[in-house]
Chain A
């Protein structure tokens, strides 16, 4: 018994060291990202303005055929001809190409960008091991208190980001904001929220813990990615509007905004991400209700945490409705998405810290 306790304490200690190490590596990744942005600013990109002024005569790809390389069954490749698809922008929408990314095509910037991503991968691995050893030290899922919740949350957020990278999605713009947030999140975790590793109180003993909390954390991480995209969309959209109406944005704004994806791409990305995870969020709430039914004898009791999950859910439903309602697309819907994420954040931090309810196991 005592021996086990000692190993557990050892593991908990190792976990702490790993978390601190990951913070150091994230910090390096942060600097690398900064360097990427800095060197990237050397390149002169002005494609947005060019595209916006050229839009009048948007000669889309010439109809005809394109040659497509196809892998044959026996390994060789053959070249096929196939007709080219001509696409047409929605009436009134801007036809703007995506920016080149933080490095702006600058070679050195690109090198730093790659270093930043590699460092992020490393930091992620270290942090994930930190979470894992923590879980081993307490011999349960590492979601018993706010500290554990935070370290898991940032790990999952980074995993989502790296997942998009692996899927070859245009997600480089997320790098700097993500690493910054993760550093803040971990900083908060190790200073304010730290709780020594320990067992769960009986009310938390349930397999619903695994189901409900893991999906909640995952949803949060994806909502976070969606919210960053929405925020950048708002900036980029303002920038594009200004250009389109003949304005001249400041030098710094130009330098940064030029390198982001087009507003339309960011908007579409954030919608897809939010919409994709909304059913899972619905499931999370239902799983929570089932658990509450087992643990507290009622499925729904308007406990502050439940209430805020509900508010978050309705806010995202609002957002989805807004997207389907003509007058609310674009910026207005984006504000709703940000409000919805604000609700999620409040549910996560605010309710645990400011409001007391049955969920206040948070251990702050």
Chain B
């Protein structure tokens, strides 16, 4: 049932508690005919970063804020650094070449490790074993037992991404590479050569992973096209010339037919286009395009959205793959939820190609690490994290203390779409009576396509512990199943 509105705070004490749930929870609301009327994915964690960062010195934020998420820490690290560049008066085009390129290298390393982790460790069991497979083997160790070669490649692909991060940020998880105005180290020749050595294998395996995913999608297209799919708007940043750019650019949003809704909106102007709705049943807010309102303005972000919004990709192998991808929908935006995986692996290949280009660039050995500007006191950073558009906005006072922080994390941008995907799957597979194992698996598969890094909002990895409940009109539980 819809909960009554209240601004009252909860009673907050430590006491023995009586219910344990996983981090993700879904409830289905039924109408009088036992049809699904509403589906909700509840996000159950809250950190309070926006408030407790107030009073901290601004230069601390890039290292603090990444601790929101250990799966994509580099994204938060760089996004905060970009915002702080602006705070100290350094515009994106004023970074030194080594400053920008080291950050990009770090970012592409992150994209590689995150996409590899998601596809191989988390999603591939669904594809390799099927949606109805025994949950006991539907995990990464099940993949390792049945497809050992694939598992080893998966581990090594991810490791390579982590190595790139280590050499650029000083540490695989929660490094310190980016500072306001630039970076704190360049890439030594020895580090460069070590990374270059392994690159040919990494490129080959990325292509292999993409082939695997493409083959699966094409073979199951009839089943997948409708699975949890719906038309939607799509949002990302793109480079000024329309190229996909994961590190820097202006906001562009298109509708489900490809018509542009917004374009060329600079990061500093994000407030003129984005709002987030609060709903009482989730700690995660619901972003939307301001002019369209909460009903019509929600959008998707992440690999699928980026493939849809960009005009082209500026690396040859990934661009060829993009053309093949868009041919599937005859150049119109692809609205198939399960196509996220395919899009994700095209981006992984793009990240590897970018790493290759950067490693050949002598700028990475330059010494002018940071740029200086005139203090402005406010900054917005936007980049494309592995899971989608990430926004960081800060205000800083004359004592260098943060006075305001506003973060819209990637997964939050996909809140409405994930809820809708769950609803679609429920409408399709719920028989009106019992929540079955098959329905449960499928709901998970649909949520997982979005690669929700609920760590930023909460977290989930692998098989998310999931509870699905169906309510009748009077709010009584009709059926309940727990993923176990």
- The answer to whether A and B interact is no
